[in-house]
Amino acid sequence: MKPRRLKLPALLLAVALLAGCRGRGPAGAEAAKAEKTEFMMDTVITITAYGPGAEEAVNAALAEMRRISALMNADDPESEVSRLNANAGKRPVKVSPETFYVLALAQRYSELSEGAFDVTVRPLVKLWGIGKKDKYVPAEEAVARARSLVNYRDLVLDEAAQTAYLERPGMGVDLGGVAKGYGADRAREVLREHGIRSALIDAGGNIWAIGSRPDGRPWRIGIRNPRPEHGGELLAVLPSEDLTLVTSGDYERYFIKDGVRYHHIFDPRTGRPARRAISATIVGQNSAEADVLSTAVFVLGPEKGLALIRRLGRLEAVVVTPDEKIVSTGNLEDRLEVVRREGGTGDAGR
Amino acid sequence: MTRGDKLILVLVLVVALGAFGFLALRRQAAPSPAVAQVVVEVDGKEVERFPLANLRAGERRRVRGPLGYSVIEGGENKVRMVSSPCPDKVCVARGWISAPGEAIVCVPNHVVVHVEGGAQKQGYDALTQ
């Protein structure tokens, strides 16, 4: 009987459909996930990737970041940057194309920010030793001496010879404000070469949101509230697809002495911790650039900082002022979900 | 339907329902436990995991990193780092954490303590800071 003979295949089909339809979202939503954390570049780096070959891709991306760290870490005596610093006032040093590129980028932004960010800030970093010395506030004349050794114009980059030279003894380059961003950019390239289209790179708070989440929705990237005791841990959330977010804040490395907060982001023009902002976040598509600019905007403060970002175009910024107001560039105002609880005391159990 | 048809039908149903159950169970074991968990990692490897509620207020646990012991302490459904053999004590200054996604990181001693799962919705995938 024909109608009867149909029942079984129909039932089979129904069962198959039922079983097949209980996945969430499109195919790939259940994609393989790989996540790895490593300590390098003086911070903690986590890469999460989704899709076929995710594990191999994450391993390769971390290896790439290790390679860049070895080139650019000023605290590693074997790095190219350390050789450049050791030869300050003596002779030009040949560097790899990548180190040359990052030095040139950092110098260009030193100029654009009129020295608010300065790639040669190392003498100040070493003098203060925030996070390495115990609540040490240097004397005025020591600060003045270190400050006189900070000047991005005295870094001579010779494109033809691929050399870098610091003109005066005692000078030093510090790529702490750019190497993590450059590393994240390179890690992103490696993930893409491995065919990964959905991933998150967290390089010590520098975020690369690659593609969208496995379920197809945009990644939700939180911006930390610089004062969690006022309104909780989270300042705002930005739905992000193929965006990098980098934040500079005065809460990352600091100490408080006699009621004054001393942190690790210096204003090269005063030689002291910058005071015009307490947090600055840059949103863009190049993490090295966003890394440098988060420092520059933090030092410049909301007015001049946001003006610089608008002048450059193609980037956005969110700044938290010392009185904890949130100011951002126009394009972000509609997209940014501010979640800080107003008037709350947060949950910082003191 | 012949007897053979029925047998096939029953078999198919059993297999299908079995697969259902298996998949459903496996999904529930996905990485968001209903109870908030404290996860302790050293050098990127998980060394300890326990429900946040199990850590009594004032109870301390030692975590061994390359520099020595970092010490975590429980509070009322929260956890903090009370001491660590690092120079900067950023991890100690971090204070209490309690919500999923919050973390205490001691870079010099390679220790990460974070909270996973729990009823609270995290609301974000990553945090720029």
The more confident residue out of A159 and B27 is A159
How many C-beta atoms lie closer than 10 Å to residue B94's C-beta? Answer: 19
User: Closest partner residue to A43 among B8, B107, B124, by Cβ?
Assistant: B107
Query: What is the mean pLDDT of the segment spanning A38-42?
Result: 89
pLDDT at residue A20, rounded to an integer:
46
Q: Do A253 and B96 touch (CB under 8 A)?
A: no
How many C-beta atoms lie closer than 10 Å to residue A43's C-beta? Answer: 18
Q: Do B99 and A233 touch (CB under 8 A)?
A: yes
A:82-121 residues touching chain B, CB 8 A cutoff = none
Residue with tokens 């919050």: B102
Q: Do A19 and B20 touch (CB under 8 A)?
A: yes
Query: What is the mean pLDDT of the segment spanning B45-64?
Result: 87
pLDDT at residue A7, rounded to an integer:
57
Query: What is the mean pLDDT of the segment spanning A150-159?
Result: 98
User: Closest partner residue to A221 among B78, B105, B124, by Cβ?
Assistant: B124
Interface of B with A (CB under 8 A): 1, 5, 8-9, 12-13, 16, 19-20, 23, 41, 43-44, 75, 78, 80, 87-88, 90, 95-96, 98-99, 102, 105, 107, 110, 112, 123-129
pLDDT above 90 for A1: no
Q: Kindly report the length of chain B.
A: 129
Task: Indicate the average pLDDT of chain A.
Answer: 90
Q: Sorting pLDDT into bands at 50, 70 and 90, what band is A132?
A: confident
Q: Sorting pLDDT into bands at 50, 70 and 90, what band is B37?
A: confident
The HSE-up count of residue A9 (CA atoms within 13 Å, CB side) is 5
The three-point CA angle A157-A159-A163 to 5° equals: 55
Q: Sorting pLDDT into bands at 50, 70 and 90, what band is A239?
A: very high
pLDDT above 80 for A336: yes
Q: Do A224 and B126 touch (CB under 8 A)?
A: no
Q: Determine the Cα–Cα distance for residues A229 and A275; give it in Å rounded to an integer.
A: 20
SS3 content of chain A, % helix, strand, coil (to 5): 35, 25, 40
Chain B residues with CB under 8 Å of A43 CB are 107
User: Which of B96, B98, B100, B103 has its CA nearest to residue B121?
Assistant: B100
The amino acid that residue A285 corresponds to is: Q
The HSE-up count of residue A193 (CA atoms within 13 Å, CB side) is 13
The more confident residue out of A78 and B14 is A78
Q: How far is B58 from chain A (nearest CA, A)?
A: 13
pLDDT above 80 for A19: no
pLDDT above 80 for B32: no
User: Which of A70, A119, A65 has its CA nearest to residue A95?
Assistant: A70
Q: Are A148 and A117 spatial neighbours (Cβ–Cβ below 8 Å)? A: no
Q: Determine the Cα–Cα distance for residues A172 and A23; give it in Å rounded to an integer.
A: 56
Q: Sorting pLDDT into bands at 50, 70 and 90, what band is A330?
A: confident
Chain B residues with CB under 8 Å of A233 CB are 99, 102
How many C-beta atoms lie closer than 10 Å to residue A339's C-beta? Answer: 17
pLDDT at residue B57, rounded to an integer:
85
How many C-beta atoms lie closer than 10 Å to residue A79's C-beta? Answer: 19
For residue B10 the two structure tokens come to 């029953």
SS3 content of chain B, % helix, strand, coil (to 5): 25, 35, 40
Which range has highest mean pLDDT (A17-31, A106-120, A219-233)? A106-120
Q: Are A214 and A50 spatial neighbours (Cβ–Cβ below 8 Å)? A: yes
pLDDT above 50 for A349: no
Query: What is the mean pLDDT of the segment spanning A114-125?
Result: 97
Q: How far is B10 from chain A (nearest CA, A)?
A: 11
DSSP letter for A26, please: S
Residue A270 near chain B (CB below 8 Å): no
Q: Are A120 and A127 spatial neighbours (Cβ–Cβ below 8 Å)? A: no
Chain B residues with CB under 8 Å of A243 CB are none
pLDDT at residue B34, rounded to an integer:
57
Q: Do A39 and B20 touch (CB under 8 A)?
A: no
Q: What burial letters (b/e) apply to B107-125, b meaning 16+ CB within 10 Å? A: bbbbbbbbbbbbeeebebb
Task: Indicate the average pLDDT of chain B.
Answer: 81
For residue A240, what is the nearest residue in chain B, using CA coordinates? B125
The more confident residue out of A143 and A74 is A143
Q: Determine the Cα–Cα distance for residues B125 and B129; give it in Å rounded to an integer.
A: 13
E strand or H helix that includes residue A108: helix A97-112
Which residue blocks in chain A are alpha helix, DSSP H? 2-20, 54-72, 80-86, 97-112, 122-128, 140-148, 179-193, 287-300, 302-312, 330-333
Q: Are B36 and B116 spatial neighbours (Cβ–Cβ below 8 Å)? A: yes
How many C-beta atoms lie closer than 10 Å to residue A223's C-beta? Answer: 29
pLDDT above 70 for B21: no
Q: How far is B51 from chain A (nearest CA, A)?
A: 20
Percent of chain A whose pLDDT exceeds 70 = 89
User: Which of A273, A265, A65, A270 has its CA nearest to residue A147?
Assistant: A270
Query: What is the mean pLDDT of the segment spanning A336-343?
Result: 82
Which residues have CB under 8 Å from B124's CB, separation 6+?
Answer: A220, A221, A222, A234, A237, B101
Q: Do B107 and A39 touch (CB under 8 A)?
A: yes
Chain A residues with CB under 8 Å of B128 CB are 205-207, 221-224, 245-247, 281
Q: How far is A96 from chain B (nearest CA, A)?
A: 28
pLDDT at residue A128, rounded to an integer:
96
Query: What is the mean pLDDT of the segment spanning B45-71?
Result: 89
Residue with tokens 């070469």: A193
Q: Do A131 and B23 touch (CB under 8 A)?
A: no
Q: Sorting pLDDT into bands at 50, 70 and 90, what band is B5?
A: confident
Chain A residues with CB under 8 Å of B52 CB are none
pLDDT above 50 for B121: no
pLDDT above 80 for B17: no
For residue B6, what is the nearest residue in chain A, using CA coordinates? A8
Q: How far is B47 from chain A (nearest CA, A)?
A: 14
Q: Determine the Cα–Cα distance for residues B125 and B18; give it in Å rounded to an integer.
A: 33
3-state SS class at A246: strand
The more confident residue out of A256 and A247 is A247
pLDDT at residue A8, rounded to an integer:
52
For residue A71 the two structure tokens come to 């080139």
pLDDT at residue A24, rounded to an integer:
40
Chain A residues with CB under 8 Å of B105 CB are 44
pLDDT tens, residue by residue, A272-317: 999 999 999 999 999 999 999 999 999 999 999 999 999 999 999 9
Q: Determine the Cα–Cα distance for residues B122 and B99; give it in Å rounded to an integer.
A: 7
The dihedral over CA atoms of B109, B110, B111, B115, expressed in degrees to the nearest 10, equals 150
The angle, 0 to 180 degrees and rounded to 10, between the axes of the packed helices A287-300 and A179-193 is 150
User: Closest partner residue to A39 among B8, B43, B126, by Cβ?
Assistant: B43
Q: Sorting pLDDT into bands at 50, 70 and 90, what band is A10?
A: low
Query: What is the mean pLDDT of the segment spanning B86-102?
Result: 90
pLDDT at residue A346, rounded to an integer:
39
* Reported pTM: 0.75
pLDDT at residue B30, rounded to an integer:
40
The amino acid that residue A92 corresponds to is: P
Q: Sorting pLDDT into bands at 50, 70 and 90, what band is B22?
A: low
- Which of A44, A201, A243 to substitute to test the interface with B, most B CBs within 10 Å? A44
The more confident residue out of A80 and B119 is A80
pLDDT above 90 for A79: yes
